[in-house]
Amino acid sequence: MAKFRITYNAPITLTFALLSAIILFIDSKLLNHHFIHALFVAPGCQGSSFAFNYHNPLDYFRLFSHILGHSDWNHLIANFGFILLLGPILEERYGSAVLLVMILVTAFVTGAINACLIPSPLMGASGIAFMMILLASFSTMSRHEIPLSFFLILFLYLGRELFSDNKIYNIATFAHVAGGICGSMFGFLANSKKRTSAKTSKKAGGKKTDSNTKDSSGNTIAEEFAMLTLDENSPRFKK
């Protein structure tokens, strides 16, 4: 009977999901909703009740850490329903290190936009989810074609963000969208560069089919042909 084992197949995606769940559990069950607001909420612009303080090192940390904070379990599940679906696919395609950089870039851009332009605090991984949706769609594009599924997913996700009456899912939508576009473009450019390098390597590594090419016995094609024509037992031998 074949044995099956559970593998930690996508370390960045799974670690991201587990950290977010643990943080929300600690916040809701142990620290009475003070933990996330202390460390995992990006501040807003100047003049807001929770404005970014350029002299506070913790605020720079919050520009990245806000993607780990969620208002409740519904908020977390709504984001990680996309992330756990798309993250492993993207992580396998680009590699764990590249995906981690894309997540950090998206988090920073989202947090920075919020700190500069938006008065309300920011939390949640909606920007990361949007980045992964765009990046997964970009991976199916060719030079002269854009898949219809890209536009459908884009409009469905943005429609949910922009027109939802539930404020939990509509937290600083502009920052989420801008951060997601930035992160996905980074990944798209990295993927284009990777495809170009692969094509260059393939052309450089092509085999030559001239008389100097060796077969499995180590002889060149010309040598094998000479041996064949000089063999008296060969049906092609002519006196």
Indicate whether 233 pLDDT > 70: no
Indicate whether 164 pLDDT > 70: no
Over residues 177-200, mean pLDDT: 66
pLDDT tens-digit series, residues 123-135: 999 889 888 888 8
pLDDT of residue 153: 74
Q: For CA atoms 45, 51, 42, 28, give the dihedral sign.
A: negative
Q: Confirm whether pTM is higher than 0.75.
A: no
At 214 the three-state DSSP class reads: strand
Classify residue 68 by its DSSP letter.
Answer: G
pLDDT of residue 8: 93
Classify residue 207 by its DSSP letter.
Answer: P
Share of the chain above pLDDT 90, in %: 35
In angstroms, rounded to a whole number, what is the distance separating the alpha carbons of residues 63 and 79?
Answer: 18
Question: In the structure encoding, which two tokens stand for residue 164, read together?
Answer: 């939802």
**What is the Cα Rg of the chain in Å?**
27
> Chain-wide mean pLDDT for the chain?
77
In angstroms, rounded to a whole number, what is the distance separating the alpha carbons of residues 84 and 17?
Answer: 8
Q: How confident is the model at residue 239 (pLDDT cuts 50, 70, 90)?
A: very low
Over residues 129-144, mean pLDDT: 74
Question: In the structure encoding, which two tokens stand for residue 87, read together?
Answer: 């993250």
Over residues 125-151, mean pLDDT: 76
In angstroms, rounded to a whole number, what is the distance separating the alpha carbons of residues 145 and 158?
Answer: 22
pLDDT tens-digit series, residues 80-125: 998 999 999 989 988 899 899 989 989 998 999 889 988 888 899 9
Distance of CA 43 to the CA centre of its chain: 25
Q: Does domain 11-197 have CATH number 1.20.1540.10?
A: yes
In angstroms, rounded to a whole number, what is the distance separating the alpha carbons of residues 26 and 31?
Answer: 6
